[in-house]
Structure 1
């Protein structure tokens, strides 16, 4: 085999040493070296503080059943999720009732809220309600309003817009939201 290689070089010495042969042989050696070279395994670093965990890594990262790909927040974590709690109401004889509601955010950033019913519509704009925070709104409903739908427009952690509709039914002691 070595003799065959030496014969090949002797017969093709002009081509071999002209530059084209050097490039071709370098390409073959690089190909073989890269094919056998083992790739670096993905790395993951985790830093935990009292209220947060910061996970950084290369490649995909699995957090429980959620897989983070290409540096985007998984939909399960990024999607806005809200709930509404009544925080009080004011009833004054002869006037429409005033309801105080708290919008709690368990997901992406909230930017506006539309309240709609069969008899009224009102929009509230916020600079931002971050995850884990809440804000209060006050709405006066015409007497006899039995139900309302609150439509929350929010951006998820990846910047995609989502809407969530929450229905409320008016009982004797105020609205209940489902």
Structure 2
């Protein structure tokens, strides 16, 4: 059985070697055919010149197109810069309006509070003067009470001697 395998392996190797050598021979023949020089004619030269001119024209068109695209990008950048500047201006105006509004509110509040403060001070002064008047009135009342009680005491003393006066004082519940 191992001899049969050896024979088969040998046949396969021989077949592979044959294929490789035939491929090499075929490739050699093809390269020999391509190595032949092709004659360069005047028509070929004219054709190459036309191709070069077309290529240079295409290159010019491409350059013009790229310049146009660059110009568009520059225009877009300018517009973007203008928009950013406008946004900064809007933000500044808004901040200014807010600051002015807050300042006005504070100023208005102060000007509105001042009259109230003045009125409160005026009322406090009036209350203080009224309190002083009340205190002085209380003193006068106390003095009047004292005088009245002295008068009643004097009349009571006098009523001890005068019966008519005693009756009058009894009538008013002073005796």
Could you say which TM-score interval applies, normalised by the shorter chain? under 0.3
Q: Quick check: which one's strand share is greater?
A: 1
Larger Rg, first or second structure (1 or 2): 2
User: Could you tell me the TM-score, scaled by structure 2's length?
Assistant: 0.24
Q: Quick check: which one's helix share is greater?
A: 2
